[in-house]
Chains A and B, each alone.
Chain A
Amino acid sequence: MKTLKDVKPGHIGKVVDIKGCDDIKHKLYDLGIIPGVRVEVIQDAPFGGPIKVKVHDYCLALRRKEASCILVEEER
């Protein structure tokens, strides 16, 4: 299955599950990244840096390592 890391800027992924990062799972939950939520990838930083995503009404930055824990279904 795809992870948020594979979603290209401008595309939206619907969160299915969070796997492989138990320590940050609940941090992501606190920030509103829960199954069923649509996450739009907006931009990525230079040299393989973090990615910027939009979830609900606000923007988050996360490293690719964390993005690869978020399983998504690509919507667009």
Chain B
Amino acid sequence: MKEITVALVGNPNVGKSALLNAISGSDIKVGNWPGVTVEKLEATFIYNDYKIRFIDLPGVYSLRNQTAEEKITIEFLLKERPDVILNVVDATNLRRNLYLTFQLLELEIPMVVALNIWDEAVEKGIIIDYEKMSKLLCCPVIPTSAKNKTGIDQLLEKIVETYENKKFVQCEHFESQIEEYLKKVINLVKEYNPVLLDIYPKRYLAISLLEGSFKDSISPDLEENIEKIRNEIKSLYKKDVKTFIVEERYGNVLSVYHQTVKKQQEDVVDSSITLDKIFLHKYVGLPIFLLLVWIVFEITFKVSSPYVEWLDKVLSVVSGWTLSVLNSVNANDVLKSFVSEGVLGGVGFVLTFIPVLFTLYVMIAILEGSGYIARAAFLMDRFFSSIGLSGKSFIPLLLGFGCNVPAVYATKTIENTREKILTTLMIPFMSCGARLTVFAFFVSVFFKNHGGLVIFSLYLIGILTAIIVALLLNKFHFKTQSEFFIMELPPYRLPTLRYILNNAWVRVKSFIVEAGKFIFAMSVLVWFLTNIPYGAKKDKTILAKVSQKVAVIFEPLGFGTWEATASLFSGFVAKEVVLSTMGNIYVGEKIEEETKELSFQEGVKEIVVGFVDANINLVKNFMAVFGFVKVESEEEFNKSLADSIRSAFTPASAYSFLVFLLLYTPCLATVFAIKQELNSYKWMFISIAINFSSAWIVSFIVYKILTFYNF
């Protein structure tokens, strides 16, 4: 079977990923490009006797080699030399899209153009003579619609045909004078640096040498001669070569456009402009945005919570079964504890994120696919530009208040690498729901009368610290970057259900596979730390021994005890286990979920009933989102733990402890999400370091102030 490598290239928002989805269904792998944070989609598709490997390159407006996306795209095309470029073009926005097409033609790689979003163009009365366009561009042009799955077969057929032809016809589309200059440049290269001709496509080489954008080093003689040509052009046309070539390309674009497109309707962005009159309205726009964001937030966490509970139940049934099996073979207690707490505990922790992430990805796909994310950025940009970010950071940061893990993955919608890193580093400071449970417990013990105020102050400290960290990083780390904000506002579109669900599933799958392994391993490790030597007293385990050594660094913060330290260790795994660890350490009784032995039928019944319950709760939660039903919350206080905590902390050290808990390294899943999303261990460790040091500093300041005023 012959293998064909096809690179998908196109502007952002032209439906490249949707087209890939339409071609290959759900057989898509997501990952990151090596060393950068830009997403990589890949799919393989068998067509007749060919194995076609599609690589979805990031959306770019040009091949200028400036942004991370452009660098990836041009590097892939030049180094990997795909067999065919599938250039996806938005049929409703040809005047800009064809600009990239002309640049791609300069690479001398066989190309097929997909005139995507054809359905919308037809609807809008745009008539495109694609056969003529094919002649003008010297490559096949196929009308497609990812939404209606039309044109897919022709596209595959043309890809194979183009691959078999292997011929690339270079149109000389510039003005003849310029074409002469390009030939001159090629002759100069032949004379001085002939080896370049083996590495780079001729036309690309000539143009980038002439423009002065060529990155490799060239011989001084060649540079000198090219400079002469540049000056000639400059004096002839009264503008610099770079500008001249851009204008030449646009001249070609407009020529092709006017020869092939007949528009019957005057304005193609009309409906979007009308909608924007509401959504981007000076006064109404922001409230609508905040309302929508609140709905996203509520849906993400409320819709997923019944399924989290259900998965919890499934897990307890499974551990019940496992226990029965272990009991039947007379396994010893160590093994039973290891399997039920270490192994299944880790699996359970991964499972709890699946419903949250799936709902979040669905929400993001809707927001992104509909074109609203760009509007959100437009509305919020003013506020975020003051800390060197753009409006796009708002949604991820806000989601952080629910759970940091999906928040980190939500930074996917930020294309600018610097902004994405900054936002990701700010997310752990947003106090998540799990931390709130610990706050609530401490507040009930120490600050009963000012509970609301204390919790509010903690959220505020988190936000302020995040802003300070962002400002410092901007000043000292990212100082070389000049920031600007130019963003396309794509027309509003209805994303297809298939695209949304596929997208969400593909991403959740990648979380399960990658984060799953990591979290599972850590969970097993933590079990060893807390349980070995097995059956030993609580202050003799490995965890206790390590904590006794580490406790000294918390001395200046007011809680330098090994118990507090050990609780913080466990908080690194997940903030919600801090309380149960404290119960275990301070009171000496494990707050454990009882695992009962179950027969197979009973278990299956419980799983099914649980699933039905989850759906009922989903409806209930939905009503609650819109304020019809109040979801009852059960706060259970462990009285003996409260007593021990009261004697172990003072109000000042308790507050300092909470500040530390708020700011220090977020849970394991967040840490791994950061690694996965930023595609770098370096940033993962930097994030851990920033969180830990800022937690220490802020807690120290807070504790000193509080003790100074005798709290």
B residues adjacent to A (C-beta < 8 A): 61-62, 64, 66, 92-96, 99, 242-243, 246-247, 250, 268-269, 272-273, 276-277, 280, 282-283, 285-286, 374, 377-379, 381-383, 385, 482, 484-491
Judge whether A49 and B381 touch: CB under 8 Å. yes
How distant is B390 from chain A, measured CB to nearest CB, in Å? 9
Judge whether A58 and B64 touch: CB under 8 Å. no
How distant is B164 from chain A, measured CB to nearest CB, in Å? 34
Which of chain B's residues have a CB closer than 8 A to the CB of A23?
A: 482, 484
C-alpha gap A56/B11 in the complex (Å): 15
Judge whether B381 and A50 touch: CB under 8 Å. yes
How distant is B669 from chain A, measured CB to nearest CB, in Å? 34
Partner of A58 from the list B242, B247, B269, B283 (CB cut-off 8 Å) is B269
Judge whether A61 and B487 touch: CB under 8 Å. yes
C-alpha gap A4/B378 in the complex (Å): 17
C-alpha gap A56/B250 in the complex (Å): 12
Partner of B276 from the list A29, A35, A43, A62 (CB cut-off 8 Å) is A43
Q: A32-B99, A48-B382, A59-B488 are in contact. List 18 more A-B contacts (CB 8 A).
A: A26-B246, A28-B486, A29-B243, A31-B61, A31-B486, A32-B250, A45-B280, A45-B282, A46-B382, A52-B280, A57-B96, A57-B268, A58-B488, A60-B486, A61-B381, A62-B484, A62-B485, A62-B487
What 4 pairs between A and B have smallest CB-CB spacing? A49-B382, A30-B62, A56-B95, A59-B489
Partner of B286 from the list A28, A34, A42, A46 (CB cut-off 8 Å) is A46
Q: How large is the interface on A (under 10, 10 to 19, 20 to 34, 35 or more residues)?
A: 20 to 34
Judge whether B272 and A59 touch: CB under 8 Å. yes
C-alpha gap A29/B62 in the complex (Å): 10
Judge whether B246 and A34 touch: CB under 8 Å. yes
Given A26-B242, A49-B378, A54:B247 Cβ within 8 A: no
C-alpha gap A62/B377 in the complex (Å): 11
Which of chain B's residues have a CB closer than 8 A to the CB of A62?
A: 484-487
Judge whether A61 and B378 touch: CB under 8 Å. yes
Given A32-B250, A52-B276, A60-B489, A65:B484 Cβ within 8 A: yes
Which of chain A's residues have a CB closer than 8 A to the CB of B385?
A: 63
Give chain A interface residues in 12-61, CB to chain B under 8 Å: 21, 23-24, 26-32, 34-35, 42-50, 52, 54, 56-61
How distant is A46 from chain B, measured CB to nearest CB, in Å? 5
Q: Would you call A74 an interface residue if the criterion is a C-beta within 8 Å of the partner chain's C-beta atoms? A: no
Q: Which residue of A lies closest to B96 (CB)?
A: A32
Judge whether A24 and B486 touch: CB under 8 Å. yes
Which of chain B's residues have a CB closer than 8 A to the CB of A24?
A: 484, 486
Given A44-B282, A58-B269, A59-B273, A66:B484 Cβ within 8 A: yes
Which of chain A's residues have a CB closer than 8 A to the CB of B272?
A: 59
C-alpha gap A52/B64 in the complex (Å): 25
Judge whether B269 and A59 touch: CB under 8 Å. yes
Partner of A42 from the list B93, B268, B276, B282 (CB cut-off 8 Å) is B276
Partner of B280 from the list A43, A54, A57 (CB cut-off 8 Å) is A43
C-alpha gap A42/B270 in the complex (Å): 12
C-alpha gap A60/B485 in the complex (Å): 10
Q: Which residue of A lies closest to B378 (CB)?
A: A61
C-alpha gap A54/B491 in the complex (Å): 12
A residues adjacent to B (C-beta < 8 A): 21, 23-24, 26-32, 34-35, 42-50, 52, 54, 56-63, 65-66
Partner of A27 from the list B96, B381, B484 (CB cut-off 8 Å) is B484
Q: Which residue of B lies closest to A18 (CB)?
A: B243
> Can you show 16 pairs from A to B with CB atoms below 8 A apart?
A26-B66, A30-B246, A31-B486, A45-B280, A57-B94, A58-B490, A58-B491, A59-B272, A60-B486, A60-B487, A60-B489, A61-B377, A61-B488, A62-B485, A62-B487, A65-B484
Judge whether A30 and B64 touch: CB under 8 Å. yes
Which of chain A's residues have a CB closer than 8 A to the CB of B282?
A: 43-46
How distant is B419 from chain A, measured CB to nearest CB, in Å? 14
Partner of B374 from the list A42, A47, A61 (CB cut-off 8 Å) is A61
C-alpha gap A54/B250 in the complex (Å): 17
Partner of A46 from the list B243, B269, B285, B486 (CB cut-off 8 Å) is B285
Partner of A61 from the list B92, B93, B486, B491 (CB cut-off 8 Å) is B486
Which of chain A's residues have a CB closer than 8 A to the CB of B489?
A: 52, 58-61
C-alpha gap A75/B677 in the complex (Å): 46
Partner of B378 from the list A29, A45, A48 (CB cut-off 8 Å) is A45
Judge whether B379 and A49 touch: CB under 8 Å. yes
How distant is B60 from chain A, measured CB to nearest CB, in Å? 9
How distant is B118 from chain A, measured CB to nearest CB, in Å? 15
Judge whether B486 and A27 touch: CB under 8 Å. yes
Given A32-B96, A58-B269, A46:B283 Cβ within 8 A: yes
How distant is B213 from chain A, measured CB to nearest CB, in Å? 9
Q: Which residue of B lies closest to A43 (CB)?
A: B280
Partner of B93 from the list A34, A45, A48, A58 (CB cut-off 8 Å) is A58
How distant is B194 from chain A, measured CB to nearest CB, in Å? 30
C-alpha gap A61/B371 in the complex (Å): 13
Partner of A43 from the list B277, B374, B487 (CB cut-off 8 Å) is B277
C-alpha gap A60/B283 in the complex (Å): 20
C-alpha gap A29/B64 in the complex (Å): 11
Q: Which residue of B lies closest to A48 (CB)?
A: B382
C-alpha gap A61/B247 in the complex (Å): 22
Judge whether B378 and A56 touch: CB under 8 Å. no
Q: Which residue of B lies closest to A40 (CB)?
A: B273
Judge whether A34 and B250 touch: CB under 8 Å. yes
Judge whether B382 and A47 touch: CB under 8 Å. yes
Which of chain B's residues have a CB closer than 8 A to the CB of A61?
A: 374, 377-378, 381, 485-489
Which of chain B's residues have a CB closer than 8 A to the CB of A32?
A: 95-96, 99, 250
How distant is A32 from chain B, measured CB to nearest CB, in Å? 5
Which of chain B's residues have a CB closer than 8 A to the CB of A60?
A: 486-489
Which of chain A's residues have a CB closer than 8 A to the CB of B484?
A: 21, 23-24, 27, 62-63, 65-66
How distant is A67 from chain B, measured CB to nearest CB, in Å? 10
Choose among B243, B268, B383 the residue with the greatest number of A CB atoms under 10 Å from its CB. B243
Q: Which residue of B lies closest to A42 (CB)?
A: B273
How distant is B174 from chain A, measured CB to nearest CB, in Å? 16
Judge whether B486 and A29 touch: CB under 8 Å. no
Judge whether B93 and A27 touch: CB under 8 Å. no
Which of chain A's residues have a CB closer than 8 A to the CB of B280?
A: 43, 45, 52
Q: Which residue of A lies closest to B382 (CB)?
A: A49
C-alpha gap A52/B43 in the complex (Å): 36
C-alpha gap A29/B96 in the complex (Å): 10
Judge whether B487 and A54 touch: CB under 8 Å. no
Which of chain B's residues have a CB closer than 8 A to the CB of A43?
A: 276-277, 280, 282
Judge whether A30 and B99 touch: CB under 8 Å. yes
Judge whether B485 and A66 touch: CB under 8 Å. yes
Judge whether B95 and A57 touch: CB under 8 Å. yes
